[in-house]
Amino acid sequence: MPVRAAGPVQGTPKVLANGPDLVAVEVTVEPGEQVFPGHYPGFPIFPGVCVVEYVHLGALATAPAPGLRLEAIESTRFLSPVFPGDRLVVELDWQRKGGSWRCKATAGTGRGRAAAVRLRFAEGSAR
Amino acid sequence: MITISGIKRILPHRYPMLLVDRVDELVPGERLTARKAVTANEPWYRELSAGATDEQHAYPPVLLVESWCQAAGVLAAWDTPNPDVLAGQVMLFGSISEVVFHRPVLPGDVLEHRIRLVRALSDTVIFEGEALVDGEPVLEVGRVVMAMRPATELTEAAAGHVVADQAVAAARAVVTDRAVATN
- Rounded to two decimals, the ipTM of the complex is 0.95
Tell me what pLDDT residue A110 has.
93
Q: pLDDT category, B89, cuts 50, 70, 90?
A: confident
* Better pLDDT: B140 or B91: B140
Q: pLDDT category, A4, cuts 50, 70, 90?
A: confident
Q: Do A38 and B100 touch (CB under 8 A)?
A: no
- The contacts found for B172-178 with CB under 8 angstroms, 24 or more apart, are B172/A26, B172/A87, B172/A89, B175/A16, B175/A17, B175/A22, B175/A24, B175/A26, B175/A89, B175/A91, B176/A16, B178/A17, B178/A21, B178/A22, B178/A24
Query: Which CATH number is A68's domain given?
Result: 3.10.129.10
Domains of chain B, residue spans: 4-150, 152-183
Domain that holds residue A35: 14-122
What mean pLDDT do residues B103-129 have? 96
Residues of A in contact with B176 (CB under 8 A): 16
**What sign results for the dihedral spanned by CA atoms B114, A72, B44, A14?**
positive
CATH 3.10.129.10 holds for B4-150: yes
Query: How many distinct structural domains can be found in chain A?
Result: 1
Is A66 inside any structural domain?
A: yes
Residues 6+ apart with CB under 8 A from B116: B30, B31, B127, B128, B129
Q: Do B58 and A5 touch (CB under 8 A)?
A: yes
Tell me what pLDDT residue B92 has.
86
Dump pLDDT digits (tens) for B13-49: 999 999 999 999 999 999 999 999 999 999 999 999 9
Tell me what pLDDT residue A99 has.
87
Is A9 inside any structural domain?
A: no
Q: Which has the minimum average pLDDT: A55-64, A106-115, B164-173? A: B164-173
Is A6 inside any structural domain?
A: no
Is A61 inside any structural domain?
A: yes
Tell me what pLDDT residue B183 has.
44
**133-152 in B: which are within 8 Å (CB) of A?**
none
